[in-house]
Amino acid sequence: MIRIVYITLLFGLLTACDLIDYHPYDGRLSSGTETDINRKNIEKIEALCQNKDTIRFIMISDTQRSYDETEDFVHLFNDKIENVDFILHGGDLADFGLKKEFEWAHRILSKLKVPYVALIGNHDIIGNGDQVFKKMYGEENFSFIAGNIKFICLNTNSIEYDYSHPIPDFNFIYNEIGDSTRNTRTIVAMHAPPGNEQFNNNVKIIFQEVIKRAPSLMFCLHGHEHNFKVRDLFNDGILYYGCTTMGKRGYLLFTITPDSYTYEEIEY
- Is residue 73 a contact partner of residue 251, using CB atoms and an 8 Å limit? yes
Alpha helices in the chain (DSSP H): 2-15, 37-49, 67-80, 99-109, 122-125, 129-136, 170-178, 204-211
DSSP state of 32: T
What is the predicted pLDDT for the residue at 162?
Answer: 83
Secondary structure (3-state) at 251? strand
Cβ burial 50-87 (10 Å sphere, 16+ → b, else e): eeeeebbbbbbbbbbbbbebbeebbeebeeebeebbbb
Residues in CB range of 212: below 8 A, 6 or more apart:
236, 238
Q: Is the alpha carbon torsion for 11, 13, 17, 23 positive or negative?
A: negative
Report the pLDDT value the prediction gives residue 165, as an integer from 0 to 100.
86
Sorted by sequence, the CB contacts under 8 Å of residue 268 that are 6+ apart come out as 72, 73, 76, 249, 250, 251
Domain 25-267 has CATH 3.60.21.10: yes
pLDDT of residue 231: 98
pLDDT per residue rounded down to tens, the chain (268 residues)? 444 444 444 445 444 444 455 556 666 776 678 999 999 999 999 999 999 999 999 999 999 999 999 999 999 999 999 999 999 999 999 999 999 999 999 999 999 999 999 999 999 999 999 999 999 999 999 999 999 999 999 999 999 988 788 999 999 999 999 999 999 999 999 999 999 999 999 999 999 999 999 999 999 999 999 999 999 999 999 999 999 999 999 999 999 999 999 999 999 9
Question: How many CB atoms lie under 10 A from the CB of residue 93?
Answer: 31
* pLDDT at site 27: 61
- R_g of the chain computed on alpha carbons: 20
SS3 assignment, position 31: coil
Chain centroid, CA 182 distance in Å:
22
pTM for the predicted model, two decimal places: 0.90
229 class by beta-carbon count within 10 Å (0-12 exposed, 13-18 middle, 19+ buried): middle
Are 164 and 65 spatial neighbours (Cβ–Cβ below 8 Å)? no
Measured from the Cβ of residue 40, the count of other Cβ atoms closer than 10 Å reads 14
DSSP state of 161: G
